[in-house]
Structure 1
Amino acid sequence: MSDMSEPHAEAAARAANSGLVRDFGLLIKSATRMEQRIDAALRRECGISHTMMEVLIRLCRRPGEEVSQRQLADDLTLTSSGTTRLLDRMEEAGLVRRVPSPQDRRVALVEPTAEGRTTFVRAAAVHAAVVEEYFVGPLTADDYTRLTSALSVIDRTLREASG
């Protein structure tokens, strides 16, 4: 164990125990635990991961919209190779298909299959049940409204600050 008389030990302990560090850590831990619950429920009940559901959300949001593999990578903040591997697994499972773009044959467009849309509808219900139980349920209606409003303000501030 290091010498506690070190001049910065007390300052480091204060910083590590600060309210801001604790509060932000609580947000991250809560979000991570929600993600884990959602992912486990989706895997158990639908056979897909939460990330696969995120792809299906993006593809099903506007029927007929052309979504490139590159757009998906950007929207989901995945690497190009990570997106390729994910889409390979989803294609093998019959959830999506890649087709060449009519405008640029070098560009792969991704679209949900009928099975992908059916799986997504089932997954959306599972997702909603978990969110209702662990995100909405523990709060009063007023607290929930305040929480989601505050998160919207934080998100908007971060988006504006990034460009």
Structure 2
Amino acid sequence: MDTEELFTDPRLTAMGLLLEAHAGLNAKLQPVLDENGVSSLDLNALMRLSRSPGQRLRLSDLAAQTSLSTSGITRVVDRLQRAGLVRRESFPGDRRSTYAVLTDEGADRLVRLLPDYLATVERWYTGLLTPGQLPAFLTCLRILRDSVHPEATAGQEE
């Protein structure tokens, strides 16, 4: 492959566009997070818990779903617990498993935050796609996610 072909490879374009879109979307969403006193990591953990059976996940599953290490998710859960948004629970009969559980206060925070968050997502992301494009785009994202991060669905019913 010659230099021009290498530098104009469409795979570079695909990665560049993905990285630019990700950075741009994060910048558009940051004011909503700041206004509600949560980080993107906090919100990701809270959303994962809210969408899980019983609004709870084992810490190891929450770590896998958020792409954090066990020590990383411990720090996030510690911060969320101090804020009263989650609590830890042990599982009867399995002292090795600790669960993070969304509290009523955590659910209330999501209820306050999500309308502005979703409006921003709609304005700068999903609303830019036609109704016919969105399902195909979600399928593509799941293919990519499942390939590079198969443990992301840990603890979820598929």
Asked if these proteins are the same fold (TM beyond 0.5), I'd say yes
Gaps of 5+ in 2: 152-158
**Aligned residues of 1:53 and 1:123 also touching (Cα < 8 A):** no
Match in the other structure for 1:87:
77
In structure 2, how many angstroms separate the alpha carbons of the residues matched to 1:37 and 1:109? 32
Deviations, residues 74-131 of structure 1 (Å, cap 9, x unaligned):
1111011111111111111111111222122232211111110101122221221111
Whether 1:67 aligns to 2:57 is yes
Query: What's the TM-score once normalised by structure 1's chain length?
Result: 0.76
Q: Secondary structure at the match of 1:123?
A: helix
Deviations, residues 43-67 of structure 1 (Å, cap 9, x unaligned):
22x1111221111112111352542
In structure 2, how many angstroms separate the alpha carbons of the residues matched to 1:119 and 1:37? 20
In structure 2, how many angstroms separate the alpha carbons of the residues matched to 1:160 and 1:54? 16
In structure 1, how many angstroms separate the alpha carbons of the residues matched to 2:51 and 2:149? 24
1:32 to 7, 10, 23: 23
In structure 2, how many angstroms separate the alpha carbons of the residues matched to 1:90 and 1:160? 25
Match in the other structure for 2:155:
none
Query: What's the TM-score once normalised by structure 2's chain length?
Result: 0.79
In structure 1, how many angstroms separate the alpha carbons of the residues matched to 2:96 and 2:106? 24
Whether 1:17 aligns to 2:17 is no
For the pair shown, which has the larger CA radius of gyration, 1 or 2?
A: 1
**Matched letter for residue 68 of structure 1:** R
Shift of 1:149: 4.4
Higher relative contact order structure (alpha carbons within 8 Å, sequence separation ≥ 6): 2
Match in the other structure for 1:111:
101
In structure 1, how many angstroms separate the alpha carbons of the residues matched to 2:96 and 2:18? 41
Match in the other structure for 1:123:
113
Gaps of 5+ in 1: 1-9
- Matched residues, number: 151
- Please report the RMSD computed on the Cα atoms of aligned residues, expressed in angstroms: 2.8
**Matched letter for residue 59 of structure 2:** Q
**Matched letter for residue 107 of structure 2:** R
In structure 1, how many angstroms separate the alpha carbons of the residues matched to 2:129 and 2:115? 20
Q: Which moved more, 1:33-42 or 1:90-99?
A: 33-42
